[in-house]
Amino acid sequence: MKGRSTARGNGLRTWIALLLGIILLAGASAGRAAPPAAKPVRALMVLVGGNPHDVEINPPLLDKALKAAGIQVTKLAPPAGQPTSGAHLSKLADLKPGAYDVAVFYTVGQALNPQQEAALQAFVESGGGIVAIHGASASFTNSDRWFRMLGGRFSGHAPGTFTLPITIADPAHPIMKGIKEFAILDEEYCHRFPEGVERHVLARFKQRPVTTTEKNGNNDAVWTVDSGKGRVVYSALGHGEEAWKNPVWQKLIVQSILWAAGKPREVKVPQ
- In the chain, domain spans: 1-36, 42-260
Over range 86-110, report the average pLDDT: 97
Among the listed ranges 22-36, 95-109, 209-223, 232-246, which one has the minimum average pLDDT value? 22-36
Q: Read off the amino acid at residue 65.
A: A
In percent, how much of the chain has pLDDT > 90? 84
Q: Average per-residue pLDDT in the chain? A: 91
Q: Read off the amino acid at residue 94.
A: D
The predicted structure's pLDDT at residue 271? 84
Would you place residue 13 in the very low, low, confident or very high pLDDT band (cuts 50, 70, 90)? low
Q: What pLDDT digit, counting tens, does each position of 39-65 carry?
A: 899 999 999 998 889 999 999 999 999
In percent, how much of the chain has pLDDT > 70? 86
Please spell the DSSP secondary structure of the chain, one letter per residue.
-HHHHHHHHHHHHHHHHHHHHHHHHHHHHHHSPPPPPPPPEEEEEEE---TTS-TTTSGGGGHHHHHHTTEEEEEE-PPTT-TT--GGGGGGGG--TTS-SEEEEE--B----HHHHHHHHHHHHTT-EEEEEGGGGGB-TT-HHHHHHHT-EEEE--SS-EEEEEEES-TTSGGGTT--SEEEEE---EEE--TT---EEEEEESS--TT----S---EEEEEEEETTEEEEEES---SHHHHH-HHHHHHHHHHHHHHTT---------
The predicted structure's pLDDT at residue 199? 98
At residue 15, does pLDDT exceed 80? no
What does pTM read for this prediction?
0.86
The predicted structure's pLDDT at residue 33? 47
Over range 176-190, report the average pLDDT: 98
Topology annotation, domain 42-260: Rossmann fold (3.40.50)
- The 3-state secondary structure of 211-264 reads CCCCCCCCCEEEEEEEECCEEEEEECCCCCHHHHHCHHHHHHHHHHHHHHCCCC
Contacts of 252 (CB under 8 A, 6+ apart): 175, 176, 179, 203, 222, 235, 237
At residue 138, does pLDDT exceed 70? yes
Cα distance between residue 246 and residue 199, in whole Å: 25
Pairing between strand 162-168 and 102-106?
Answer: unpaired
Contacts of 178 (CB under 8 A, 6+ apart): 251, 266
The predicted structure's pLDDT at residue 38? 73
Q: What pLDDT digit, counting tens, does each position of 61-87 carry?
A: 999 999 999 999 999 999 999 999 999
The predicted structure's pLDDT at residue 29? 47
The predicted structure's pLDDT at residue 170? 98
Q: Does a cis peptide bond (omega within 30 degrees of 0) precede residue 36?
A: no
Over range 109-133, report the average pLDDT: 97
Cα distances (angstroms) measured from residue 25 to each of 15, 16, 31, 34: 15, 14, 10, 16
